[in-house]
């Protein structure tokens, strides 16, 4: 059943917004009062939605052309002058082409750069494998000192962006392309290192992040209708992860299922396994991309075909309880 806490923060409106859109809107709103905010992009501003910021604050927007390495190091340079750079491009290019720049220029000196990468996961859809980041969380998580956040809807994205502006240090925010339901209302407060329990149950712990939360939520509700109640947790903060919440739930349910639009190697599932194997050995099943490249197709069609859609989640939970 829905937790009392979740009842207060769940949205009652049926609205669909892409997290990238919420990102563009939020940095623009914050940019009104915080003049240190600058936005950087690599010729994808209309897709990452930094174009919203660029339109309002042309002097504080810098397009680097199709040159991701240059943009990331330049973001580091801007941060040394006291600016708060939001550097955006697709997650594939941000984290793979510019991995060294993020590591050496941004993370090693712990500079205050916010890498907000969009079009993460196979949920990108039609563009296919070369444009679908399935390793980005793994790469960012492995670099010391980077906070890795993966908001699940427009509200959480807004709160995440408001939080990273106040946080001093490098952050990776994983955003997605497709319009998805707005799950939370504005009273929701995000904290780095904290997840939220949306449903309470005893049969299993279901943890999802980012794009997958609205799908996992539907699965959890359908399971409840069938009399199978699970702890359902949304984990936007992948690094640092909410250890307390996960351990407390795993202690109760004895089995954990993670769901992410990412390779099962190195993402949320891995983070949960790392935690539990050290502190509370528990069976974990990782749903997500099973170590293969993505493909072209429609968003939900792909997620179902890759075996981590609503039906797969329901069947997996049933198979382990």
Partner 1 sequence: MDSLKKEMLQKKAAEIRVDIMEMLCEAGSGHPGGSLSIADIFAYLYFSGELKLDPKNPLMKDRDRVILSKGHACPVLYSTLIEKGYIDRFNLKTLRKFGSILQGHPDMKKVPGVDMSTGSLGQGLSVGVGMALGLRLDNSPANIFVIIGDGESEEGQIWEAAMAAAHYKLGNIIGILDKNGLQIDGFTKDIMNSEPIADKWRAFGWKVIEISAHNFDEIENAIGKAKEFKDGPVMIIANSVKGKGVSFMENQCGWHGKTPNPEERDKAISELTGALKK
Catalytic positions: 68
Window 125 to 164, contacts with partner 1 (CB under 8 A): none
Cα–Cα nearest to 235, from 198, 209, 270: 209
Does position 105 bind partner 1 by CB under 8 A?
yes
Does position 221 bind partner 1 by CB under 8 A?
no
Contacting range for partner 1; rule: CB under 8 A; set: 55-63, 158-166, 191-199, 240-248 = 55-63
Given 14, 81, 227, 319, the residue binding partner 1 (CB under 8 A):
81
CB of 84 to partner 1, least distance (A): 10
CA distance 100 to 263: 21
Given 9, 37, 49, 78, the residue binding partner 1 (CB under 8 A):
78
Given 1, 32, 34, 100, the residue binding partner 1 (CB under 8 A):
100
CB 259 within 8 A of CB 295: no
Does position 67 bind partner 1 by CB under 8 A?
yes
Does position 212 bind partner 1 by CB under 8 A?
no
CB of 60 to partner 1, least distance (A): 7
- Strand-pair partners of 233: 197, 207
CB of 30 to partner 1, least distance (A): 17
Does position 109 bind partner 1 by CB under 8 A?
yes
Given 23, 53, 64, 172, the residue binding partner 1 (CB under 8 A):
64
CA distance 210 to 191: 15
Cα–Cα nearest to 89, from 103, 72, 106, 77: 72
Given 51, 79, 116, 165, the residue binding partner 1 (CB under 8 A):
79
Cα–Cα nearest to 287, from 273, 277, 299, 298: 273
CA distance 74 to 62: 10
Given 7, 65, 167, 226, the residue binding partner 1 (CB under 8 A):
65
Closest to partner 1 by CB, 53 or 211: 53
Contacting range for partner 1; rule: CB under 8 A; set: 106-114, 148-156, 288-296, 313-321 = 106-114
Q: Which residues contact 18 (CB under 8 A, 6 or more apart)?
A: 154, 175, 176, 177, 178, 179, 180
Q: How far is CA 296 from the centre of its chain?
A: 21
Contacting range for partner 1; rule: CB under 8 A; set: 25-33, 78-86, 180-188, 227-235 = 78-86
CB of 19 to partner 1, least distance (A): 26
CB 204 within 8 A of CB 282: no
Does position 281 bind partner 1 by CB under 8 A?
no
Does position 255 bind partner 1 by CB under 8 A?
no
Given 2, 17, 69, 129, the residue binding partner 1 (CB under 8 A):
69
CA distance 112 to 13: 35
Q: Which residues contact 320 (CB under 8 A, 6 or more apart)?
A: 204, 255, 257, 283, 285
Does position 237 bind partner 1 by CB under 8 A?
no
Joined together, the tokens standing for residue 36 give 């240190």
CA distance 297 to 266: 24
Site residues, partner 1 (CB under 8 A):
38, 59-60, 62, 64-65, 67, 69-83, 85, 100-101, 103-105, 108-110
């Amino acid at each position: 059943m829905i937790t009392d806490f979740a009842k207060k923060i769940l949205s009652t409106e049926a609205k669909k917004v892409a997290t990238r859109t919420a990102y563009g809107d939020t940095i623009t709103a914050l940019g009104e009062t915080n003049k240190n905010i600058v936005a950087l992009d690599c010729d994808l501003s209309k897709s990452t939605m930094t174009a919203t910021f660029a339109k309002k604050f042309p002097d504080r927007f810098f397009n680097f052309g199709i040159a991701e390495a240059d943009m990331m190091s330049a973001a580091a340079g801007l941060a040394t002058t006291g600016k708060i750079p939001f550097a955006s491009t697709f997650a594939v290019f941000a984290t793979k082409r510019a991995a060294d720049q993020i590591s050496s220029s941004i993370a090693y000196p712990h500079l205050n750069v916010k890498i907000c990468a969009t079009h993460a996961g196979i949920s990108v859809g039609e563009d296919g494998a070369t444009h679908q980041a399935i390793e980005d969380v793994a790469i960012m998580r492995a670099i010391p000192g980077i906070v890795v956040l993966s908001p699940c809807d427009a509200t959480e994205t807004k709160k995440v962006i408001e939080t990273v502006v106040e946080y001093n240090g490098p952050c990776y925010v994983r955003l997605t392309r497709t319009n998805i339901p707005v799950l939370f209302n504005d009273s929701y407060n995000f904290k780095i290192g904290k997840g939220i329990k949306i449903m309470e149950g005893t049969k299993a712990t279901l943890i999802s992040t980012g794009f997958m939360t609205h799908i996992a939520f539907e699965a959890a509700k359908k399971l409840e209708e069938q009399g199978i109640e699970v702890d359902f947790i949304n984990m936007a903060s992948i690094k640092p992860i909410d250890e307390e919440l996960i351990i407390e739930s795993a202690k109760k349910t004895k089995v954990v299922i993670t769901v992410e639009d990412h390779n099962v190697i190195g993402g949320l599932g891995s983070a949960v396994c790392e935690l539990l194997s050290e502190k509370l050995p528990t069976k974990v099943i990782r749903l997500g991309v099973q170590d293969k490249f993505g493909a072209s197709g429609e968003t939900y069609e792909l997620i179902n075909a890759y075996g981590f859609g609503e039906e797969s989640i329901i069947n997996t939970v049933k198979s382990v309880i």
